[in-house]
A and B are shown apart, each in its own frame.
Chain A
Amino acid sequence: MKRLATFIIVVLVAVGIMAWSTPGLLDRVRLGLDLKGGFEILYEAAPLEQGQKVTKQSLTRTAESLEKRANLLGTSEPEVTTEGTNRIRLKIAGVTDEAEVRKKMKEPASLTFRSAEGCKAPDANTADKDKYCKVELVGSDFVENGASVGYSNLNAPVIDIKVKDKKKFAEITKRLLGQPLAIFLDETMLSDPTVNAELTDGKAQISGNYSLDEAKKISDTINLGALPLKLTEKYSQSVGATLGKQSLDKTIESGIIGSIVILIFMIAMYRLPGIIASFGLIVHTWLLILVFVWADFTLTLPGIAAFILGIGMAVDANIITNERIREEIRNGRSVMSSVKAGNKSSLRTILDSNITTIIVGAVMFAFGTGAVKGFALVLIVEIVLSILTNVYFTHYLLSLLVKAGLLKKPKQFGVKESEINAL
């Protein structure tokens, strides 16, 4: 009776914990963009000037700057991560005006001061950017958030900007005295004033025929943070919220149907041990969701697919164990010793077969991008958990029942008396 009591307590506690924690648990799973809508862009960063290199520092700064922009645009929880040596992945969810955000994100808003030093002699057809081919100062040389709208002597709106390194600016203005120093925002020339004096206070002014609004806009764009690197989109995925929701609902629905069929199959095939396996599977599923919430993993559509496939894989352990037990019973062993032997000898087989799947999962995780990583992660976590729930946990429950004397007839394992070979 003691064993039966233990069995009942273990089951009740497990059910209790699950019932208590499940409400709200699902809502706390972080969903990927493909399920809740949003967009993901993979940028490749290149230096603003040729011959320079993308450093880790500049890449991180660019990522930070992108994040700042995304936040400024009022998007919720933008995710910006650097990848490898020159890539930045940006994920933004729930955006209404995607085109606008995307444009703003990529807009390098890179302010440069350029001179015509060493450039080809211009003719009438030369574009501004070819005329001023030498970049003297780049976006990161200017004080962050240092642009402001001011007024010129003639009371026209101008944009004041500050240079970080006063000495450097002084050197440039000294060298270019009497020559034009063009101011570019990205590849558009804002103005090309002639340097009249050596500027030592690190302040510069962009003047043009701007209205106050125009001047404000330019100053805002500059303040949005100049990106230290030039970005090009390598890969992009955007998913509408409705479409994402539909994928989520449909896939979960198919998962539930599949799981129910698997549970019915297990119970029909293995009777009481099948019910225990099913219980193990439910604990398994709950535990997996719990791990996702705790570790704050993001669940993507391929992730859910792995989740569902994993349910089918998790019961494999139960099938292998139960078939082994049946075999031992057929060979004429007692139920008690069959369960013992079955649990023991199936363990090695189960581990061997699962490790290969983990190997492949690990390779996918290492080589995969975004969606593939999500799939691999779920697969690995799920297999590890299944060894806990559908091997150790169900073995434990089964032994309790056998020792309690509730499982003693071969019939309860789906073995007919006639199949048993007498010893």
Chain B
Amino acid sequence: MHFKKEFNFVKMSKAAFIFSIVLTIAGIIALAAFGLNYSVDFRAGSNVDVKLAKNVTKAEVQPLLDEIGIGKDATISPGDKRVNIRFTKELSEDQDSQLKKAIQQLDDTASFEINTVDPGMAKELGRNAIYSVLISCIGIIIYVSIRFEWRFALAAIIALLHDAFMVVAIFSIFRLEVSLTFIVAVLTIIGYSINDTIVIFDRIRENLRFGKQKTREDLANLLNHSVNQMLMRSLYTAFTVFIAAFFLFLFGGESIKMFSLAMVIGLIFGAYSSIFIASPLWLYFKYKQKPKGKAVKPSKA
């Protein structure tokens, strides 16, 4: 596809900024109000996933747990031929094997996945996750600053933090489970969504070399032109990864469902932010620089 008509992204970015700001505020409110729905990875306890040959109900599982004395703090969520049970306390080895035996009474083909995380470990995993996000961002800032200039780096970082936060916000609003793989997804989005931004920035940089941009209009036109030139490229590259993530979400293994969903959401926001957030932000920073030039030689026409 090739558009003859050029879109005015500078104009459209105003609406996009408002949209993103509203979503950010909603995300902050959601985070403050209900926080995140942490999995055992970050809040300690045990998570049991059981694959069964038939469907079971909560009422069937509860008494089995009560019998072993672990029924009190269990959250049972049955699914299609599977059941998930979460315990806020870590299961001991004995409880672990008792639980397996009990559920195998229901269905002897039951296959389990049990994750147990101790509170110290949960804290550590959480801390490492935050470190990873911070260090990744610093690494990207340094790299983009070296290859481009700080205005590009700053705009790119704001855009990718925006992408990451949007995913977190949506997971908070919809109470989706946040596990270690979620952090992996957020980090991958941080690393990947900037690709699109860089492709566009690269073009802006290239176009900047061709002419002298004297006025704000010149700059705005240059940006519009650059984004239009790269539009399909940006969308296609995001689309191929989106396909991969989307099919993973649809058909992939249960334990990476939330990971794939986070990727899908992040990719959409990544493509959106490269065009509507990162590029206009760069323009904004560039404007700030321009008035100086104007002040030196005011036009006295």
Contacts and interface: CB of A to CB of B under 8 A. Distances in A.
Interface of A: 34, 37, 42, 44, 98-99, 102-103, 106, 232-244, 246-248, 250-251, 253-255, 257-259, 261-262, 265-266, 269, 301-302, 305-306, 308-309, 311-313, 315-316, 319-320, 323, 326-327, 330, 348-349, 352-364, 367-369, 371-372, 375, 379, 415, 419
A101 B178 CA distance: 31
Contact of B236 (A44, A236, A269, A361): A269
A247 B253 contact: yes
17 contacts: A234-B117, A238-B96, A240-B112, A242-B109, A250-B253, A251-B256, A254-B247, A255-B247, A306-B188, A312-B244, A319-B236, A352-B198, A353-B194, A356-B191, A356-B195, A359-B143, A360-B136
B143 A353 contact: no
B233 A323 contact: yes
Contact of B241 (A37, A309, A362): A309
B245 interface: yes
Nearest to A330: B2
A89 to B, nearest CB: 12
A309 B245 contact: yes
Contacts of B196: 353
Contact of A363 (B116, B139, B240, B242): B139
B221 interface: no
Describe B's contact surface by its main secondary structure: helix
Interface in B58-110: 93-94, 96-97, 100, 109-110
Contact of A240 (B51, B94, B241, B263): B51
Given A305-B248, A316-B237, A327 B229 contact: yes
A306 B260 CA distance: 10
* Smallest CB-CB A-B distances: 5 pairs: A360-B191, A240-B111, A247-B253, A254-B251, A242-B111
Given A241-B111, A262-B240, A103 B93 contact: yes
Nearest to A105: B93
B154 interface: no
B252 interface: yes
B141 to A, nearest CB: 10
A235 B97 contact: no
Contacts of A353: 194-196, 198-199
B215 interface: no
B64 to A, nearest CB: 17
B121 A235 contact: yes
Q: Size range of the interface on B?
A: 35 or more
Given A235-B118, A243-B113, A312-B243, A375 B184 contact: yes
Most chain B CB atoms below 10 A, which of A232, A253, A319 = A319
B243 A265 contact: yes
Nearest to B260: A305
Most A-side CB within 10 Å, residue of B125, B181, B194, B240: B240
Contacts of B93: 99, 102-103, 106, 233
Interface in B212-262: 229, 232-233, 236-237, 239-248, 250-256, 259-260
Contacts of A266: 240
Contacts of A316: 195, 237, 240-241
Given A234-B120, A235-B118, A364-B132, A312 B97 contact: no
A212 B109 CA distance: 39
Contacts of B136: 359-360, 363-364
B255 A247 contact: yes
B144 interface: yes
A350 to B, nearest CB: 9
A307 to B, nearest CB: 9
A368 B180 CA distance: 9
A235 B256 contact: no
Nearest to A259: B244
Interface of B: 2, 49, 51, 93-94, 96-97, 100, 109-118, 120-121, 125, 128, 131-132, 135-136, 139-140, 143-144, 147, 180-181, 183-184, 187-188, 190-192, 194-196, 198-199, 202, 229, 232-233, 236-237, 239-248, 250-256, 259-260, 263
A99 B99 CA distance: 11
Contacts of A356: 140, 143-144, 191, 194-195, 198
A250 B252 contact: yes
Contact of A312 (B113, B121, B128, B245): B245
Contacts of A354: 195
Contacts of B113: 34, 237-240, 243-244
A222 B190 CA distance: 52
A259 B255 CA distance: 21
A394 B54 CA distance: 49
A246 B183 contact: no
Contact of B114 (A106, A237, A247): A237
A301 B255 contact: yes
A364 B255 contact: no
Contacts of B96: 99, 238
